[in-house]
Amino acid sequence: MVFAKEDVNYSLYLVTDSTMLPPGTTLYSQVEAGLKNGVTLVQIREKDTETGSFIEEALDVQKICKKYNVPLIINDRIDVAMAIDADGVHVGQQDMPIPMVRKLLGPSKIIGWSVGKPSEVETLAKWGPDMVDYIGVGTLFPTLTKKNPKKSPMGPQGAIAVLDALEEYKASWCRTVGIGGLHPDNIQRVISQCVATNGKRSLDGISLVSDIMAAPDACAATVRLREMIDRTKYQFVDCELNESFPTAVSIKSVISQVSSNRPLVQHVTNKVHQNFGANVTLALGSSPIMSEIQSEVSELARIPNASLLLNTGSVAPIEMLKAAINAYNEVNRPITFDPVGYSATETRLCLNNNLLTYGQFACIKGNSSEILFLAKLNNDKMKGVDAGSGKNDDALLARATQIVAFKYKTIAVCTGEHDFIADGTFGGECKLSSGTAGVTAEGLPCVMIENGSIPIMGDITASGCSLGSTIASFVGGLDPTGNLFDAVVGAVLLYKTAGKLASTRCQGSGSFHVQLIDALYQLFHENKPEKWSASLKKF
């Protein structure tokens, strides 16, 4: 049977491995369990099997695939593929060159290629539409399945670069599957974040090995994967993500929710910020906990209205930070990420990039230098951890904020003379193949907050970090019917208004600290956003 190439369903692509089978299972039982529960494409991948037994195995798997009308791809071994008339092959960069593979297999067979970087896309585009039919984009996340890994994990941002190259070189025929360390805890984030910058395409499928092949119950594993892939809503926080434009009324409602829900705000942050952050959190009717103990983070995340503030000025070990991200993502509780000094040193750049690929954030907040760098609009190294000295115009900052929001499908906040807040969550909508249907960063809801400058804000410690505490309190205090964008915008408006008020009341930076807490306390408990000095404007 020959499969029309445009009909191939790449959505759940099982790559086999007979070295990880749990007791009581066989290669065939695992493959059948997968096919019965929604696997749409199968690849036999045997690295150290003699040709004779490989052929036998391939013929048996082929029989099962035919039963479910699913194409069978052979990894690396063109000879075996031809011998059994498989539906196609998958080859890596070090295997037989694609044009030779095509010459041997003919035009109707499916040819897949492992791609790890944009330059390889340029090559396949040059070969044209009759060569590579799909690419395996990876290695997305760390995996033990691929021995002697040559590629370091690229994360969703690396996959975006490959998708962008497909659009740049107009390889519209070429389909894509993500691969490498894919499991239920990251599949939806991958589908949501791996979108070309022009919004016109996302991955066509999820490809994996161990989640099914090593599963004691491969049926259940496949059902769970199938259900997640078919969900078109990525609900990573238990509150509303629909598009809204914040108003004094909606912000008033956010504050009432925070006040009655009294969120637990776990701070993983730097030492300088801890004390002040705790006091800011208390002023906002929330309860702070400054814990960096890995073994308790799962329990904390399960406390009602728990909210995590991850400020990477913290010296906590990366394993603890990752455990915290995992714990809060697992229970859909919001994480506010503050990549302090994002690119000031190689250490921070590496740490922040690692964490950014590792979890889904409700909000990413930074100063203009951090946001410009995250948006890749400003490549010079940051000076210290203060905002860059250059005067950046509002349009550039608004665009950078939208780009960060789009890349990470989060609410991005850029603080400075004016603050910018963009909503890149798309209401949680995410789909294979069609990306964001052409909606790009500049199409995202974005607001600018004006409030006049507050120079003294820069003369105290932890003023930026404590905006993080405010955001984490607000997003943590929402009811399930509360709106994430309203909460973040409300937090920034409140913080800016309090800063302005405190700057008129203080005698210097010492009393400014105290006045800021008083102002936050008063404005929060008064809850009259319509009277706040900070103004909001659609950008």
Ligand X SMILES: Cc1nc(C(=O)O)sc1CCOP(=O)(O)O
Ligand Y SMILES: C=C1C=NC(C(F)(F)F)=NC1=N
In the residue annotation, 174 being an active-site residue is answered as no
Q: 133 or 370: whose CB is closer to Mg ion?
A: 133
What is the smallest separation between the CB atom of 305 and Mg ion, expressed in angstroms?
48
Pattern of binders to ligand Y over 360-399, x per CB under 6 A? ----------------------------------------
Selected binder of ligand Y within 77, 90, 333, 409 (CB under 6 A) = 90
Sign of CA dihedral 117, 349, 143, 186: negative
CB 104 within 8 A of CB 116: no
CB 340 within 8 A of CB 358: no
Both structure tokens of 310: 């991850």
What is the smallest separation between the CB atom of 196 and ligand X, expressed in angstroms?
20
CB 356 within 8 A of CB 408: yes
Selected binder of ligand Y within 8, 12, 15, 327 (CB under 6 A) = 15
**DSSP strand pairing (306-311 vs 335-338):** parallel
**Span 225-284, contacts to Mg ion by CB under 5 A:** none
Instruction: Residue 112: name its binding partner from Mg ion, ligand Y, ligand X, none (Cβ under 5 to 8 Å by kind).
Output: ligand Y
Pattern of binders to ligand Y over 44-63, x per CB under 6 A? -x------------------
Residue nearest to Mg ion (CB): 92
Is 13 a binding residue for ligand Y by CB under 6 A? The answer is: yes
Within 10 A of 347 (CB to CB), how many other CB atoms are there? Answer: 9
β partners of residue 308:
266, 335
- Strands (E) across 165-218 are located at 175-179, 205-208
Selected binder of ligand Y within 179, 218, 460, 487 (CB under 6 A) = 179
CB 110 within 8 A of CB 80: no
Total interface residues for ligand Y by CB under 6 A = 14
Candidate segments 72-80, 219-227, 294-302, 415-423, binder of Mg ion by CB under 5 A: 72-80
What is the smallest separation between the CB atom of 60 and ligand Y, expressed in angstroms?
20
Q: 46 or 370: whose CB is closer to Mg ion?
A: 46
Sorted by sequence, the CB contacts under 8 Å of residue 405 that are 6+ apart come out as: 364, 411, 412, 422, 423, 424, 425, 441, 444, 446
Nearest to 142 by CA among 192, 194, 180: 180
The three-state DSSP-derived secondary structure of 349-363 is: HHHHHHHHCCCCCCE
Q: What residues line the site for ligand X (CB under 6 A)? A: 15, 114, 136, 138-139, 143, 145-146, 151, 179-182, 208-210
Is 46 a binding residue for Mg ion by CB under 5 A? The answer is: no
Nearest to 326 by CA among 363, 297, 348: 297
Is 76 a binding residue for Mg ion by CB under 5 A? The answer is: yes
What is the smallest separation between the CB atom of 207 and ligand X, expressed in angstroms?
7
Catalytic residue IDs: 465
Binding site for ligand Y (CB under 6 A): 13, 15, 43, 45, 75, 90, 92, 112, 114, 136, 138, 177, 179, 207
